[in-house]
Chain A
Amino acid sequence: MTELRGLYTLWFREVKRYLRDRTRVISSFVQPILWLVIFGAGFGMHFAIPGVNYQQYLFPGIIGQTLLFTSMFMGISVIWDREFGFMKEILVAPISRFSLFLGKMFGDSTDALIQGLIVFALGAVLGISIDPIAFLASIPIMLLITFGLVSIGLIIASFMGSLESFGAIQTFINLPLFFLSGALFPINGPLAQGVPGWMQAASTFNPLTYGVDALRSVLLGGSYVGLQPLWVNIAVICGFDVVMIAVGTWAFSRMK
């Protein structure tokens, strides 16, 4: 019971801090619009996915990208907390490191999910057709994706001493994960003719590949043939989440 209450309060804190930070919420509008409008229009002129409008195809990818970037960025809260001393208050509390990690992770995932929902709203405004049922179905998938990604961010941050090094590592990890996830163009599957073999292999080991594929299956419906059946995608994501949570708990338990 104590553990649950502690977990809840850590979750609540992350969400509250996020919602209070207007600049963070508002700045999250910019990137997805640029990708969808500029990149979508430009790339769409030279690139065709059979049966689907390119922007429509790109949209789940941009959702995935938003989840990736915001989730990974959330790790910064660990560094802030350490910098400003609040981490000590949490670390000496009579609560297990597992609950501590979960509380922070759930909180940051909720924040990342809100960012994802904002992109949905932007998509609707920009004329992407979104089926309400598909929208609802994609929410749990988005959450599952953020769990593992937020965990990566928290784990990295727990090892990093400074904001600068965290930022440097971020770019190093974010962009490859993004480009090799199939968010922008097919890397695996029948549409991916001529993609180098190493890229296809790398993409197979990229957790975001499965997230983007799952979102596409749900949002594009019958017109899209997924790389994997939906349940396989979800199973892979869940497996990834479990491993990351275990590593995260370990990383937090060695934190002083």
Chain B
Amino acid sequence: MTNIIETNQLTRRFNGLTAVDKLDITVESGEIFGLLGPNGAGKTTTISMLCTILKPTGGSAKVNGFDIVKQAMQVRKSIGIVFQDPSIDDRLTGRENLYMHANLYGVPSSEQKERIDRVLKLVELDDRADDLMRTYSGGMRRRLELGRGLIHYPKVLFLDEPTVGLDPQTRDHIWKYIRELKEAHDITVVLTTHYMDEADRLSDRIGIMDHGKIIALDTPSKLKETLEGDVITIKANKIDEFTALLAEKLGLTQSVIVDGGLEITVHGGKSVMPRIMEVAAANKFFIESILLREPNLEDVFLHYTGRNIRSDNTRELHGFSAIQRRKIR
């Protein structure tokens, strides 16, 4: 496998704030690479630099073998981008938007019609292609943007939060398209997301990003394995004392308190649960609820950062305002 993207100490500062901090990542040709992290982690900044929209303040990166600063034009020809916010002309029809894109990216006129018809079919918009895009729903616009990113046969497709503000069915649909597009066009996909399930279901490899740094990078299953087992969530009174007690009696030291609940990572959670109940009963602790589950990426994030990705309020606000923006238009 060859590396289609390589970054070397890639850094971006904004007036004293380091949005991306000495990033070293490699993306292999043909994979779906997910950048996962809360809002403000530096994902969009990273993508913006790789897409040559933003100049790095330090370090360097290559996309498809081209330097993102010195060979920006070649980089631009090699990539397709679907931005976080809508970027279509809604006064034009879907087909006109695609023609425009084909022309901007120098697709030969003789091939334009065929490519556009194929892409429209792929994202199932062929029956609406000649309607003005202002009559499209949010999901349809998103699909057209996805298709548009492929018209010029890019080597890498960047998707910045591809499903923000979309309803669950549409998200499911979009995921399906992304996988199909990747198969059909044999391209590399780099996506950013703060949705755990999105990263988990789509990506071959995931880089977990926080405060401008990659704090973990592996396949979703390997990342989950690093947690070594299951997660038991307990709500009980005097949670701090109880945590200390469990560490002392049962050796359960891999624990964090999140939102007043205790989360313990253990091997063989099924057999540990009854022991916990016994300790609680013997020492007069009252357990409100106890829950056992397989670890997910959320736990991985928690494990590496000590924070819950969902406790980030701005994210919800962002999703909501994104929906509003789409509705207004």
- The answer on A and B forming one complex is yes
Chain A residues with a Cβ under 8 A of chain B: 1-2, 5-6, 8-10, 12-13, 16-17, 20-21, 81, 84-95, 256
- Residues on B with C-beta less than 8 A from A91 are 53
Contacting A86 at CB < 8 Å: which of B77, B89, B103?
A: B89
Residue of B52, B54, B87, B109 ringed by the most chain A CB atoms within 10 A: B87
Chain B residues with a Cβ under 8 A of chain A: 51-54, 73-74, 76-77, 81, 83, 85-92, 96, 99-101, 103-106, 109, 329
B83 touches A88 (CB 8 A): yes
- Residues on B with C-beta less than 8 A from A90 are 104
Contacting B101 at CB < 8 Å: which of A2, A8, A16, A89?
A: A89
A6 touches B83 (CB 8 A): no
Chain B residue nearest in CB terms to A87: B87
Rounded to whole angstroms, the CA-CA distance of A93 and B75 in the bound complex is: 10
- Residues on B with C-beta less than 8 A from A87 are 87
- Residues on B with C-beta less than 8 A from A89 are 83, 87-89, 101, 104
Rounded to whole angstroms, the CA-CA distance of A93 and B103 in the bound complex is: 10
Rounded to whole angstroms, the CA-CA distance of A81 and B86 in the bound complex is: 11
- Residues on A with C-beta less than 8 A from B52 are 92
Q: With A1-B106, A5-B103, A8-B103 in contact, is A94–B76 under 8 Å at CB?
A: yes
Rounded to whole angstroms, the CA-CA distance of A6 and B105 in the bound complex is: 7
Chain A residue nearest in CB terms to B76: A94
- Residues on A with C-beta less than 8 A from B92 are 13, 16-17
Q: With A92-B76, A94-B73, A94-B76 in contact, is A85–B87 under 8 Å at CB?
A: yes
> 19 additional contacts, CB 8 Å, given A6-B106, A89-B104?
A1-B106, A2-B106, A5-B103, A13-B96, A13-B100, A16-B92, A21-B91, A84-B86, A84-B329, A85-B88, A86-B89, A88-B83, A89-B89, A89-B101, A91-B53, A92-B52, A93-B105, A94-B74, A95-B104
A9 touches B53 (CB 8 A): no
Contacting B87 at CB < 8 Å: which of A2, A13, A86, A95?
A: A86
- Residues on A with C-beta less than 8 A from B87 are 85-89
Rounded to whole angstroms, the CA-CA distance of A1 and B329 in the bound complex is: 35
- Residues on A with C-beta less than 8 A from B104 are 5-6, 9-10, 89-90, 93-95
Rounded to whole angstroms, the CA-CA distance of A88 and B53 in the bound complex is: 9
- Residues on A with C-beta less than 8 A from B91 are 17, 20-21
B76 touches A93 (CB 8 A): yes
Chain A residue nearest in CB terms to B78: A94
- Residues on B with C-beta less than 8 A from A85 are 83, 85-88
Question: Closest CB of chain A to B13's CB: distance in Å?
Answer: 16
Chain A residue nearest in CB terms to B88: A86
12 pairs of residues in contact across A and B, judged by CB atoms under 8 Å? A13-B89, A13-B92, A16-B96, A17-B91, A21-B91, A81-B89, A84-B86, A85-B88, A86-B87, A87-B87, A88-B53, A89-B89
Chain A residue nearest in CB terms to B83: A88
Chain B residue nearest in CB terms to A103: B104
Rounded to whole angstroms, the CA-CA distance of A17 and B96 in the bound complex is: 11
- Residues on B with C-beta less than 8 A from A256 are 53-54
Rounded to whole angstroms, the CA-CA distance of A116 and B83 in the bound complex is: 38
Contacting A92 at CB < 8 Å: which of B51, B100, B106?
A: B51
Rounded to whole angstroms, the CA-CA distance of A1 and B109 in the bound complex is: 11
- Residues on B with C-beta less than 8 A from A81 are 89
Chain A residue nearest in CB terms to B86: A85
- Residues on B with C-beta less than 8 A from A2 are 105-106
A6 touches B103 (CB 8 A): yes
Residue of A6, A10, A91, A93 ringed by the most chain B CB atoms within 10 A: A93
Chain B residue nearest in CB terms to A81: B89
Question: Closest CB of chain B to A118's CB: distance in Å?
Answer: 21
B90 touches A84 (CB 8 A): yes
Question: Closest CB of chain B to A174's CB: distance in Å?
Answer: 25
Chain B residue nearest in CB terms to A2: B106
- Residues on B with C-beta less than 8 A from A92 are 51-53, 76, 81
A5 touches B106 (CB 8 A): yes
Please name the 4 residue pairs, one residue from A and one from B, whose CB atoms are nearest each other, closest first: A2-B106, A9-B103, A94-B76, A93-B104
- Residues on B with C-beta less than 8 A from A6 are 103-104, 106
Question: Closest CB of chain B to A33's CB: distance in Å?
Answer: 27
Chain B residue nearest in CB terms to A91: B53
- Residues on B with C-beta less than 8 A from A16 are 92, 96
Rounded to whole angstroms, the CA-CA distance of A240 and B96 in the bound complex is: 34
Question: Closest CB of chain B to A100's CB: distance in Å?
Answer: 9
Chain B residue nearest in CB terms to A256: B53
- Residues on A with C-beta less than 8 A from B77 are 94
Chain A residue nearest in CB terms to B132: A20
Rounded to whole angstroms, the CA-CA distance of A102 and B53 in the bound complex is: 21
Rounded to whole angstroms, the CA-CA distance of A190 and B8 in the bound complex is: 71
Question: Closest CB of chain A to B111's CB: distance in Å?
Answer: 13
Rounded to whole angstroms, the CA-CA distance of A86 and B134 in the bound complex is: 13
Question: Closest CB of chain A to B103's CB: distance in Å?
Answer: 4
Rounded to whole angstroms, the CA-CA distance of A256 and B104 in the bound complex is: 18
Question: Closest CB of chain B to A194's CB: distance in Å?
Answer: 50
Rounded to whole angstroms, the CA-CA distance of A174 and B130 in the bound complex is: 38
Chain A residue nearest in CB terms to B104: A93
Rounded to whole angstroms, the CA-CA distance of A37 and B109 in the bound complex is: 49
Rounded to whole angstroms, the CA-CA distance of A154 and B233 in the bound complex is: 59
Rounded to whole angstroms, the CA-CA distance of A248 and B200 in the bound complex is: 46
Question: Closest CB of chain B to A200's CB: distance in Å?
Answer: 44
Chain A residue nearest in CB terms to B89: A86
Question: Closest CB of chain B to A80's CB: distance in Å?
Answer: 9
